Amino acid sequence: MNDYPLLNIFWTMLWFFLWILWFFLLFRIFGDLFRDDSVGGWGKAGWCIFLILIPFLGVFVYLIARGRGMGEREMRMRMQAEQDFRSYVQEAAAGSGPAPSSHVDELAKLADLQKSGAITEAEYQQAKAKVLA
């Protein structure tokens, strides 16, 4: 048990955490690079070669050169995803049939038509059954 003191455990865990953090950052940069449409194919290939051959310098240069854009692209992507979700929910809700308030509106219009004499009682009952069905 004394062969590996507590301070060595701490340093090992610290290095392991930094190693995981490094890979997380590297994957994040590659993801940003391939999602960005403003960089052409040759630019992406150049960045990939730079990031693979000289990873530490490549990551730092990428963060300095394109770090602000990473946040902006991430924000645009999240806003687009939220907008897509909202439009999907609205389409799904609209496709599930008329809303209950529209039933009330239609029944009120039918009652007004019956009171004014534009439709008969039988036509009113038939239209009411159709609305409620």
pTM: 0.54
Same domain, 112 and 74: no
Same domain, 92 and 102: no
Same domain, 87 and 105: no
Counting as low any pLDDT under 50, the low residues of the chain are none
CA 120 to chain centroid, in Å, comes to 53
Give residue 14's pLDDT: 95
Whole domain around residue 58: which residue ranges? Answer: 1-97
Angle (nearest 5°) at CA 74 between 69 and 78? 150
Give me the number of domains the chain comprises.
2
Give residue 11's pLDDT: 92
Same domain, 68 and 56: yes
CA dihedral 94, 98, 104, 109 (to 10 degrees): 110
- Residue 88, both tokens: 């999907």
Same domain, 15 and 62: yes
Same domain, 36 and 52: yes
Give residue 35's pLDDT: 86
110 C-beta neighbours (distance < 10 Å), count = 20
Same domain, 23 and 37: yes
Same domain, 19 and 84: yes
